[in-house]
Structure 1
Amino acid sequence: MTTAAPPYASVKEPTRLRRLTAAPTAGPLAALVLACAFFSLTTDQFLSGGNFSLIIQQVMVVGALAIGQTLIILTAGIDLSCGAVMAFGSIMIAKSAAEGSVPPLVAIVMGLGVCAGFGLVNGLLVRLVPLPPFIVTLGMLNIAFALTHIYSDEQTVTDLPRSLTWLGETFPLGRTDVTYGSVLTIALFLAFAYALSSTSWGRHVYALGNSPEAARLNGVRTSRLTIGVYAVAGLVYGIAALLLVSRTGVGDPQAGQTENLDSITAVVLGGTSLFGGRGTVMGSLIGALIVGVFRNGLQLMGVASIYQTLITGVLVILAVTVDQISRKRVRR
């Protein structure tokens, strides 16, 4: 007489391959690898250390913005003001230091503080009024944009001290020159990846995005957490402002006008759900690199910039479509 197997005996543990393919970053990483392979075959200049270093330099500002954007989107919010806030922070840092009214280090701290202040106000309005994040950050975009042009008098700030631009300087890594700003950006991604995956704060952020009410019932101070996330995002925008100044060597009042959409693009392409609760900052790094690789590769192929924008838009729609399909499958 044979003994029947218990009901759970037929349920197989997920294999390592299945776990890897189910990860939110699996698809974006595969897309990045395929894009690199394609451009390596179509252009001779793409597959070189110098070109990869250039790609990282080109995406480091948007990548830093994408970190803050990821935090907010994980809570089921969105921030349309990040590019304008960064621009105002960069002008404040550049103009304060160039005029000599304060030491460069103080100018940097002021810029970081102002950007964090913008984020704090966004969080307060979103949580305490409350107002939809889209409306709050759209209004803050216009406020920060106007303040940038008022404070700068529509003038580009030049002749910056080296202490503001040294992050744009390079050091040799093998046969490739790498900027200090690129290293700082990667360090930021690693730091926030750890914070989201290995701390109670990170777990609370995911819980808030999945279900604010369930998070509240489990003891999460949702109002304080939401306000804190927006403030931290603002601080990261301030770091992006410093990276922008160091890369361009000037304070440009025209900067940041499309970076808000570019940061959202990077986050979405990196597998973070616009509905909150699912995604990673490392996925956003991959998303930023996808955009950078496509633009760099198409430029090397001689494709006009307008087509680069067209392809980026198609990629965003595809990424959101995949997210919607995966959400429907989970519900079933």
Structure 2
Amino acid sequence: MTDTSGEKRGMQAFETVLSKQDTRVAEFEVHARSPLQMLQHFLHANPTAVPAIVLVLGVAVFSAIVGPRFYSAFNLSLILQQVTIICIIGVAQTLIVLTAGIDLSVGAVMVLCSVIMGKLAVALGLPVPVAFAAGLATGAACGAFNGLLVVRLKLPPFIVTLGTWSIFFSLNLWYSGAQTIRAQDVAKAAPFLQWLGTPVDLLGARLTYGTFFMLGLVAIVWYVLNRTALGRHIYAVGDDPDAARLAGIRTDKVLFSVYVAAGVICALGAWALIGRIGSISPQAGQTANLDSITAVVIGGASLFGGRGSIIGTLIGALIVGVSRSGLALSGVDVLWQEFAVGSLIIVAVTLDQWIRKVSA
């Protein structure tokens, strides 16, 4: 038997159904944020804010504890010299991390390039420009090798670079014969390779050309990342590769280019390394891999990709330098200096996880 109660009241069947639906309308009111939420959003929008605050606090604390010895022009310039290599390799590491990868081979690439430059120029007597170009080409080749494995074979960057770290380090020991080229021999045959170690006195501070080279490199890469289409593509690939691909970005080409660029920067780091220590040693830069990751993470870059900056990496390297210098001048044992740096890494990653919840 058909129910005609709705029709008797002058209503159609579909009107009877619609009358039972929720009549509430959508609300678009913006609710007030708590102070903690406001801080979280501010830090998400300004990834370099935290490392900058930490750096200022570190300088203030160690200045109060150690006294004039810490904030003297000599000590501050010494910190800049000590972080030069870390920052240059950290720039290469930052490019990889922005694409949601990680490169454990940057230190091995740097040392291999330095050995090739030295062997060709000093041991074989080739013209310095040829040796230098060969070092840059080696860095590019190492980066291209990493890039091909990641892009073509779709292997995880961590596993790829863990393997190539061993490969490049073994090639380094084989080609060098595990022998160091003395600083005197380098100065005689190829003084250009030591040029970045040339000291410069500035307002009571003793800097080197390597420090200015580091700052120039940071400025160039900052411009590329913030003012060019390639920089925007790098961030897009790291944030969401599928969305970047749908937007027309050639993600594989961008990834490959990043790895090649990182290899070339590592070769430039090899030049700075020779200038820093004078000699060419196959055992140099043993901690460069972890130091570069430390600078990048403490500098506010996200290991999940798409977030971070070169300025943050520079600040992160300075934080490491300030911490080690301040603790050393305070009489703290080297063991506890490394303990402090490790604690900073854990705090930085934890803070990054909390900040990322804003976009979740």
TM-score by structure 2 length?
A: 0.86
Tell me the CA shift for residue 72 of structure 1.
0.4
Of 328, 331, 335 in structure 2, the residue corresponding to residue 299 of structure 1 is: 328
- Distance in 1, Cα, partners of 2:117 & 2:71: 36
User: Given the alignment, which residue of 42, 45, 48 partners 1:25?
Assistant: 48
**Other structure's SS at 1:329 match:** coil
Instruction: Please give the secondary structure, in 1, of the residue aligned with 2:206.
Output: strand
Offset of 1:130 from its aligned partner? 1.4
Across the two proteins, how many residue pairs are aligned to each other? 322
Deviation at 1:22, TM superposition (A): 4.0
**1:180-220 deviation per Cα after TM superposition (whole angstroms, max 9, x unaligned):** 00000010001101110111000000000011011011111
Larger Rg: 2
Distance 1:33 1:114 in 2: 39
Residue from 228, 242, 264 that aligns with 2:257: 228
Q: CA deviation at 1:175?
A: 2.0
- Aligned partners of 2:43 and 2:227: how far apart in 1? 19
Q: Letter of the 1:32 partner, please give it.
A: L
**Any idea what the Cα deviations from partners look like across 1:148-197, whole Å, max 9, x if unmatched?**
11111111011103211121011222222220000000100011011101
Which among 104, 111, 114 is matched to residue 87 of structure 1? 111
Partner SS, residue 314 of structure 1: helix
One-letter identity of the residue aligned with 1:310: F
Instruction: State the Cα deviation string for residues 5-46 of structure 1 (Å, max 9, x = none).
Output: xx789999xx9xx85884000000000000000111111311
1:198 alignment counterpart: 227
Alignment of 1:79-228 (within 5 A): 79-158=103-182, 159-160=185-186, 161-228=190-257
Give the aligned partner of residue 4 of structure 2. none
Deviation of the 1:113 alpha carbon? 0.9
Worse-superposed segment, 121-130 or 170-179 = 170-179
Q: Which piece of structure 1 moves more, 295-304 or 26-35?
A: 295-304
Give the direction of change, closer, same or farther, for the CA distance of 1:136–1:9 in structure 2 (3 Å limit).
closer
1:253 aligned residue: 282
- Displacement of 1:99 in angstroms is 1.7
Matched, 1:275 2:299: no
Distance 1:137 1:107 in 2: 26
C-alpha distance in 2, partners of 1:328/1:141? Answer: 33
Shift of the 197–326 alpha-carbon distance from structure 1 to 2, 3 Å rule, reads: same
Q: Percent identity, aligned pairs only?
A: 48
Residue type at the aligned position of 1:240: G
| TM-score, normalisation: structure 1 | 0.93
SS of the equivalent of 2:86 reads: helix
**3-state SS of the aligned residue for 2:252?**
helix
Q: Mean alpha-carbon deviation: is it higher for 96-105 or for 75-84?
A: 96-105
CA distance in 1, matches of 2:156, 2:224: 26
Counterpart among 82, 91, 94 of residue 58 in structure 1: 82
TM superposition shift of 1:328 = 2.1
Q: Deviation at 1:108?
A: 1.2
User: 1:131, CA displacement in angstroms?
Assistant: 0.7
Which position in structure 2 is the counterpart of 1:45? 69
Cα distance in 2 between the residues matched to 1:281 and 1:137: 21
Partner of 2:69: helix, strand, or coil? coil
Per-residue Cα deviation, 1:281-328 (whole angstroms, up to 9, x for no partner): 110000000001001111111111111111010000000000111112
DSSP 3-state at the match of 1:178: strand
Alpha-carbon distance in 2 for matches of 1:227, 1:330: 28
CA distance in 1, matches of 2:171, 2:276: 22
Displacement of 1:48: 1.4
